[in-house]
Amino acid sequence: MMDNRVAREGLRSTWGLSILVEVPSITMLFDVGPSFELLLSNAEALSIDLSRVDAVFISHMHADHVGALNGLLAYNPDVTVYLPDPRLKLAFTRSGFKAECLEGQGCLEGLP
């Protein structure tokens, strides 16, 4: 979805990362990049509907990997966010969002 190099004509690049993973049972983003506007622009160029994303996995809390998260949550409040630090889960759930922690073996057992 987003990287510091353009992989295809019509996409925009920036310093950051977002990778879309689709399998029959789930659509997920690995990181969301720094800008929701850019994420949405690239999604539209790729004919991807971000409201159909089921889960977001955050690798680490740097702006180039999570900057678009607030925009994505406003666009798709039903997405579950998997966080790298259990201390962050409380803040997300108190804000009304679905959040889980990535810790230890079996952390992805709840996925469809």
Say which CATH number the domain at 89 has: 3.60.15.10
Residue 4 lies in a domain: no
Q: Are 72 and 50 in contact (CB under 8 A)?
A: yes
Q: Which tops the pLDDT comparison, 104 or 25?
A: 25
Strand 19-23 relative to strand 55-57, pairing: unpaired
Residue 2 lies in a domain: no
Residue 91 lies in a domain: yes
Residue 9 lies in a domain: no
The pLDDT of residue 102 is: 64
Q: Are 23 and 108 in contact (CB under 8 A)?
A: no
pLDDT in tens, 15-64: 999 999 999 999 999 999 999 999 999 999 999 999 999 999 988 888 88
Q: Are 57 and 73 in contact (CB under 8 A)?
A: no
Q: Average pLDDT over the chain, rounded to whole?
A: 85
Domain that holds residue 76: 19-101
Residue 60 lies in a domain: yes
- Quote the CA–CA distance of 3 and 19 in Å, as a whole number: 9
Is the per-residue pLDDT at 107 higher than 60? no
Residue 11 lies in a domain: no
The pLDDT of residue 103 is: 58
Q: Which tops the pLDDT comparison, 94 or 67?
A: 67
Is the per-residue pLDDT at 108 higher than 70? no
Residue 54 lies in a domain: yes
Using 50, 70 and 90 to split pLDDT, how confident is the model at 105? very low
